[in-house]
């Protein structure tokens, strides 16, 4: 007996691998502040919960494979507010954004085909690529330049006859980078030139700060047939548990192909779709309060880190993640120290090692991702624990500290 090579190549995301030890310590009474996963703490709108409670169906039947008509109609009204104009036959409902990505990879690529994406990237991309036998190719970006895209020539050099698409997460997870109009147009022009698909993962569309501009490839009619939007209600409506995602494209060939995958898995939860429909009826002013809250949290982290000469932490302009370069050689060892050996008043903090967001685990070994999804008091305490833990770690484990930062 054997397990498929595809699944054997998959790895456990770093944000989960520490949980057994964390839960063991919690059972012993230790408290952790979780900065490792993008699970918003802002309340899910009551309109979702109210609708779910109102469901009085005697039989929960299958929904249409492509999704309930009312949900698709309400979602399309929402997209129009962002200048994204699509018809009912150009949108499909999926079980979360992850299934949307899986279906897109399966539809666009044969085994051995390539998808190019800025690196670091959402770690699930790696596992979906392995599961679908797609080669993921990274466009290198750096914290020191706020993860901006390199020049066109460098990106174009990555394109081969096996390349099928360029995937951009905007705003970006894990970096918090909002790609500029110029960067989106650079990728757009390259996709037109080489007849590539432009996959736009826009799950964090609303989470933009400092007056930055949100630009989607879907704003450009000349690339309409090449553009595929992947989306989800998880983040914007703080509804991660309601697995409702979207695939949107004007390319009917792609829609019809993905519809076969939708039919294969039969349907998405009808109850969650009804709840999600109510979310899209909310006025966009709903987001004003949550955006202000996340911007405040981002600024709180910035204030805590800005004066540290041993930490590089450029202020992000979107999403709710902070990529931080630490003075350590291997961040995962520091995280294990925080879990097992450090505490203050019975408390500690956990976050995600950034090498999980790179193709080569040797990259980003000195970086971590902080998800600022805790309220002000908890986030302040978490940052205090991080910095105190780092100072103690530098003294106790000089072997894992970069030479220039040793005390």
Tell whether 151 and 236 lie within a shared domain. Answer: yes
User: What pLDDT score was predicted for residue 144?
Assistant: 82
- The mean per-residue pLDDT over the stretch 118-123 comes to 96
Largest CA distance in the chain: 68
Which of 279, 296, 321 is the C-terminal boundary of a domain? 279
254 has pLDDT over 90: yes
Q: pLDDT band for position 31 (50/70/90)?
A: very high
CATH classification of the domain holding 269: 3.40.640.10
Which pLDDT belongs to residue 47?
A: 94
Which range marks the domain in which residue 123 is found? Answer: 46-279
Please tell me whether residues 356 and 216 are part of one structural domain.
no
Residues 224 and 127 in one domain: yes
User: Does 309 have pLDDT greater than 90?
Assistant: yes
Mean pLDDT of all residues in the chain?
Answer: 94
What is the model's pLDDT at position 183? 97
pLDDT for 156: 96
Kindly state the average pLDDT of the residues 293-306: 96
136 pairs with which residues across the strands? 115
When mean pLDDT is compared across 54-63, 90-99, 234-243, the lowest value belongs to 54-63
* 85, pLDDT greater than 90: yes
Does one domain contain both 134 and 176? yes
pLDDT exceeds cutoff 80 at 12? no
Q: Which of 49-58, 94-103, 128-137, 192-201 has the lowest mean pLDDT?
A: 49-58
pLDDT given for residue 255 in this prediction: 98
- Supply the pLDDT for residue 129: 97
Q: Is residue 122 part of a domain?
A: yes
pLDDT digits (tens, 9 = 90+) for 147-172: 999 999 999 999 999 999 999 999 99
Does the structure show a pLDDT above 90 at 7? no
Q: Is residue 237 part of a domain?
A: yes
Q: Are residues 116 and 234 in the same domain?
A: yes
Among 241, 261, 279, identify where a domain stops.
279
Query: Is there a single domain that holds both residue 127 and residue 165?
Result: yes
If you average pLDDT over residues 261-278, what whole number do you get? 96
pLDDT tens for each residue of 354-393: 999 999 999 999 999 999 999 999 999 999 999 999 999 9
Residue 124 forms part of a structural domain: yes
Whole-prediction pTM: 0.95
pLDDT surpassing 80 at residue 241? yes
Report pLDDT for 243. 94
On whether residue 405 sits in a domain, the answer given is no
pLDDT at residue 95, as a whole number: 97
pLDDT number for residue 25: 95
- Residue 58 is predicted with a pLDDT of 86
Q: Is residue 406 part of a domain?
A: no
**What mean pLDDT comes out for the span 58-64?**
89
Sheet containing strand 352-353, edge to edge, reads: 321-325, 367-371, 352-353
User: What integer is the mean pLDDT of 11-21?
Assistant: 82
Range 42-71 average pLDDT: 92
- List C-alpha distances in Å: 3 to 6, 7, 9, 126, 259: 8, 7, 10, 19, 28
DSSP for 217-276, written as a single string: GGG-GGGGGGEEEEEESTTTTT-TTS--EEEE-S-HHHHHHHHHHHHHT----HHHHHHH
Residues 201 and 308 both lie in one domain: no
Among 214, 249, 279, give the residue marking a domain's end: 279
Instruction: Indicate whether 407 belongs to any domain.
Output: no
CA angle 360, 240, 383 (to 5 degrees): 65
What tokens does 377 get?
């008091």
Q: For residue 84, what pLDDT is reported? A: 95
Give the CATH number, domain containing residue 309: 3.90.1150.10
Question: Is the same domain home to 21 and 128?
Answer: no
Q: Report if residue 118 sits inside a domain.
A: yes
In a domain, 346, yes or no: yes
Confidence band, pLDDT 50/70/90 cuts, at residue 186: very high
Residues 203 and 350 in one domain: no
Cα→Cα distances 251→87, 88, 91, 218, Å? 11, 13, 10, 12
Q: In terms of domains, do 174 and 52 share one?
A: yes
Rounded CA-CA distance 30/18 in Å is 15
Same domain, 224 and 319: no
Q: 53-57, 89-93, 291-295, 377-381: which range is least confident on average?
A: 53-57
35-39, 196-200, 258-262, range with the lowest pLDDT: 35-39
Report the domain count for the chain: 2
Residue 53 has pLDDT above 80, yes or no: yes
User: Given a cut of 90, is residue 8 above it in pLDDT?
Assistant: no
Question: Are both 259 and 115 inside the same structural domain?
Answer: yes
């Amino acid at each position: 007996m054997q397990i498929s090579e595809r699944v054997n190549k998959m790895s456990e995301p770093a944000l989960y691998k520490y949980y057994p030890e964390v839960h063991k310590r919690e059972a012993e009474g230790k408290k952790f502040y979780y900065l490792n996963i993008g699970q918003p703490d802002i309340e899910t709108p009551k309109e979702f919960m109210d609708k779910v409670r109102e469901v009085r169906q005697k039989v929960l039947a299958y929904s249409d494979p492509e999704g309930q008509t009312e949900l698709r109609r309400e979602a399309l009204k929402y997209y129009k507010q962002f200048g994204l104009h699509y018809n009912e036959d150009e949108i499909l409902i999926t079980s979360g954004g992850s299934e949307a990505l899986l279906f897109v990879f399966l539809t666009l690529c044969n085994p051995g085909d390539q998808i190019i994406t800025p690196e670091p990237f959402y770690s699930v991309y790696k596992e979906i690529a392995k599961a679908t036998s797609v080669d993921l190719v990274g466009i290198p970006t750096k914290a020191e330049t706020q993860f901006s895209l390199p020049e066109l020539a460098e990106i174009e050099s990555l394109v081969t006859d096996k390349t099928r698409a360029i995937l951009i997460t905007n705003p970006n997870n894990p970096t918090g980078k909002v790609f500029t109009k110029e960067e989106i147009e650079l990728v757009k022009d390259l996709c037109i030139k080489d007849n590539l698909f432009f996959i736009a993962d826009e799950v964090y569309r609303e989470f933009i700060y400092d007056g930055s501009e949100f630009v989607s490839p879907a704003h450009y009619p000349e690339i309409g047939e090449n553009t595929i939007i992947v989306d989800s209600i998880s983040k914007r409506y703080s509804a991660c548990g309601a697995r409702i995602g979207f695939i949107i494209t004007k390319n009917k060939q792609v829609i019809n192909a993905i519809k076969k995958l939708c039919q294969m898995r039969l349907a998405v939860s009808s109850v969650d779709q009804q709840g999600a429909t109510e979310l899209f009826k909310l006025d966009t002013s709903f987001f004003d309060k949550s955006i202000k809250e996340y911007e405040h949290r981002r600024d709180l982290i910035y204030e805590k880190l800005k004066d540290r000469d041993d930490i590089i932490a450029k202020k992000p302009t979107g999403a709710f993640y902070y990529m931080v370069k630490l003075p350590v050689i291997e961040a995962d060892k520091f995280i294990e120290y925080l879990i097992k050996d450090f505490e203050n008043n019975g408390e500690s903090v956990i976050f995600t090692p950034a090498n999980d967001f790179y193709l080569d685990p040797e990259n980003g070994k000195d970086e971590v991702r902080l998800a600022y999804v805790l309220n002000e008091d908890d986030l302040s305490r978490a940052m205090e624990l991080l910095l105190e833990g780092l100072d103690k770690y530098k003294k106790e484990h000089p072997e894992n500290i970069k030479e220039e930062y040793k005390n």
